């Protein structure tokens, strides 16, 4: 039976400076409302003119988060999924570039019947249509507007949400504005003027904030809240302290304790059961009361900017918390390892319990990755390779174990005599970069008894991919004879998905990106197994012992959609066609 209740909308904007945490705020609000039994959807608008972030440098934009349906999206969608039960799609992230592309395509087709195409109404209508597309069968849509109020790029989006209040009614919309309240050390005072100016600038374009979230490093005293309320034209209870937290997983509880969700529901005229934050409080207890420590080195190309590996870092945090451990990360720039002796490499990784080599594109830093992998293999240090990390593990094994001294990937050396990694076979002869990567969720079949199968507790899994190169099965017999195990393949055995070294304490590489499916309250099984192996190594004083590490006492909560089932929504069998090709680039980022 159709649901005729009107959908409500919460619009989250930001002012003063960027990087205040609008994405975390939106995700936390979603977690609070979802804990009350409400059906939630989220949408991120990005004001840049790229059609998607797939071609953007991670040093500028951070990681590209991939959804089940193969969309390359903003990293905030990772926060949305990690804080909720939601499995998002390409409809949940829209850029200005995609909006203008759609509008211009309609103009070329004559959809506007010869009218002059303008920002208002044509661009703003397209933005509102994007909001409505994620509004079916939900109680509340939370819309985050990227950028900062005052930026010229975000004006069409702000105008569109202003119009939304006019169209759906004041009682069905809520504006939440995140601002900065800085502490000036020289004066010994918190200053509210930046917040006042930001809210005023929002009012100048026709939007009155209903709730003001004040990002600060300390609690706001009542008199300061009263001052902000007076000058920003909001109720005192609507001035919420968004205090710096020791862990991002404290944010939903901190906001909930101040009644943010209760106030939002009152403004939206919605009734809902009380929030159940017991699992979030249990998670915070694990954060604040670890029973040990584990040290993991992330040896990658983009370690100078940690947001390049945002989901990866959070997946390791989830796994460490599952084992009640404090995570200590050691960020290793593999470019700095190139040309180093084995002794120098060993010294660099002294004291770490596990080494993870993540994804990336281009040849810079590859020899450093190979050096890190060789050290992990020879020292018995637990190793986890993801995407490019798995490919480098194959290259290192081929060179130093299988006797193929010149083994390489055709991505780095097109003339190599041993292309153990090469371009996806369906892309041979295809030089265009747009939409040609293998993207989204694909099925994988695991080998019984393998470490991967033991970690998942299943043989049929589904994981998200983002790659252009693959394992060359022409070398399968030679590499497996030397001791490499192919423990996961696509159901039709076209693609190699997982490799392991059974004689090693824990050595596993996967072509997919498991970090994209790890949740705050449902840590990913591969990360749990990897951290468990690292913990075992630490408990044995770094001794190399062959064992199959169990995930440990992981949190009981699981999302409604299975983490591993191949029947999961959005999953495609390996023989099925991939995402529809796009006319714009979706290519590897610059090296």
Catalytic positions are 387, 513, 515
d(CA 50, CA 585): 10
d(CA 396, CA 392): 6
Residue found by looking up tokens 């977690």 in the block: 31
Partners of 94 in the β-ladder: 45
Q: What is the largest CA-CA distance in the chain?
A: 75
Residue 118's contacts (CB-CB under 8 Å, 6 or more residues apart) are none
Partners of 486 in the β-ladder: 499
Question: What per-residue string of b and e applies to 64-83 under the rule 16 or more CB within 10 Å gives b?
Answer: bbbbbbbbbbbbbbbbbbbb
Q: What is the dihedral of CA 252, 258, 259, 261, to 10 degrees?
A: -30
d(CA 403, CA 36): 59
d(CA 510, CA 526): 10
- C-beta of residue 275 within 8 angstroms of C-beta of residue 307: no
Chain centroid offset of residue 105 CA:
30
Give the other-Cβ count within 10 Å of 458's Cβ.
15
3-state secondary structure of 319: helix
> Helix and strand tally (H, E) in the chain?
18, 23
DSSP 113-170: TTPPP-IIIIIHHHHHHHHHHT-TT-SEEEEEE-S-TT-GGGHHHHHHHHHHHHHH-G
Helices 22-34, 76-83: inter-axial angle, 10-degree rounding:
20
Partners of 357 in the β-ladder: 385
- C-beta of residue 324 within 8 angstroms of C-beta of residue 553: yes
Sign of CA dihedral 292, 298, 303, 305: negative
Give the other-Cβ count within 10 Å of 282's Cβ.
15
3-state secondary structure 8-36: EEEEEEECCCCCCCHHHHHHHHHHHHHCC
Partners of 573 in the β-ladder: none
Q: Before 429, cis peptide (omega within 30)? A: no
Strands 485-489 and 438-446: antiparallel
Residue 122's contacts (CB-CB under 8 Å, 6 or more residues apart) are 103, 106, 112
d(CA 530, CA 296): 10
């Amino acid at each position: 039976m159709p649901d005729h209740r009107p959908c409500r909308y919460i619009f989250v904007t930001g002012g003063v400076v960027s990087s205040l945490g609008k994405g975390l705020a939106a995700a936390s609000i979603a977690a609070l409302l979802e804990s009350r039994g409400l059906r939630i959807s989220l949408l991120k608008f990005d004001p840049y003119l790229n059609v998607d972030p797939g071609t953007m440098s991670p040093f500028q934009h951070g990681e590209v988060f991939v959804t089940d349906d193969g969309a390359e999206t903003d990293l905030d969608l990772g926060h949305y999924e990690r804080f909720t039960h939601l499995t998002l799609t390409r409809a949940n992230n829209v850029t200005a570039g995609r909006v203008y592309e759609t509008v211009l395509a309609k103009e070329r087709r004559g959809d506007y019947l010869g009218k002059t195409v303008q920002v208002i109404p044509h661009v703003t209508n397209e933005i509102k249509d994007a909001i409505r597309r994620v509004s079916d069968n939900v109680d509340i849509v939370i819309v985050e507007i990227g950028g900062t109020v005052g930026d010229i790029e975000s004006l069409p989006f702000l105008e569109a949400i202003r119009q939304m209040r006019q169209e759906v009614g004041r009682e069905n919309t809520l504006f939440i504005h995140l601002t900065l309240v800085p502490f000036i050390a020289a004066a010994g005072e918190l200053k509210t003027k930046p917040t006042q100016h930001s809210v005023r600038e929002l009012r100048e374009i026709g939007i009155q904030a209903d709730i003001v979230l004040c990002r600060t490093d300390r609690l706001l005293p009542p008199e300061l809240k009263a001052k902000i309320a007076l000058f920003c034209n909001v109720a005192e209870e609507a001035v919420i302290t968004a205090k710096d937290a020791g862990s991002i997983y404290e944010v939903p509880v901190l906001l909930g304790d101040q009644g943010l969700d209760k106030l939002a529901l009152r403004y939206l005229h919605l009734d809902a059961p009380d929030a159940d934050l017991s699992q979030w409080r249990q998670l915070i207890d694990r954060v604040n009361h670890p029973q040990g420590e584990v040290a993991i080195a992330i040896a990658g190309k983009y370690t100078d900017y940690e947001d390049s590996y945002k989901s990866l870092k959070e997946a390791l945090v989830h796994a460490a918390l599952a084992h009640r451990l404090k995570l200590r990360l050691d960020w290793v720039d593999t470019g700095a390892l190139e040309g180093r002796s084995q002794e120098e490499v060993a010294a660099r990784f002294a004291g770490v319990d596990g080494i993870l080599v993540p994804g990336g594109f281009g040849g810079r830093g590859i020899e450093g990755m190979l050096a890190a992998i060789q050290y992990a293999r020879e020292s018995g240090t637990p190793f986890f390779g993801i995407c490019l990390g798995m490919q480098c593990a194959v290259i290192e094994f081929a060179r130093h174990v299988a006797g193929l001294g010149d083994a390489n990937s055709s991505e780095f050396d097109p003339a190599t005599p041993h292309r153990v990694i090469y371009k996806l076979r369906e892309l041979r002869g295809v030089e265009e970069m747009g939409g040609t990567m293998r993207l989204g969720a694909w099925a994988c079949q695991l080998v019984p008894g393998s470490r991967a199968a033991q970690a998942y507790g299943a043989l049929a899994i589904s994981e998200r991919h983002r790659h252009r190169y693959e394992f060359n099965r022409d070398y399968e017999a030679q590499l497996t004879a030397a001791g490499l195990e192919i423990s996961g393949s696509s159901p039709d055995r076209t693609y190699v998905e997982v490799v392991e070294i059974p004689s090693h304490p824990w050595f596993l590489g996967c072509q997919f990106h498991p970090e994209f499916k790890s949740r705050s309250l449902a840590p990913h099984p591969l990360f749990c197994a990897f951290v468990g192996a690292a913990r075992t190594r630490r408990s044995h004083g770094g001794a190399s012992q062959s064992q199959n590490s169990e995930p440990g006492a992981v949190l009981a909560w699981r999302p409604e959609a299975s983490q591993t089932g191949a029947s999961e929504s959005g999953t495609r069998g390996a023989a099925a066609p991939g995402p529809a090709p796009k006319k714009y680039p979706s290519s590897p980022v610059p090296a």
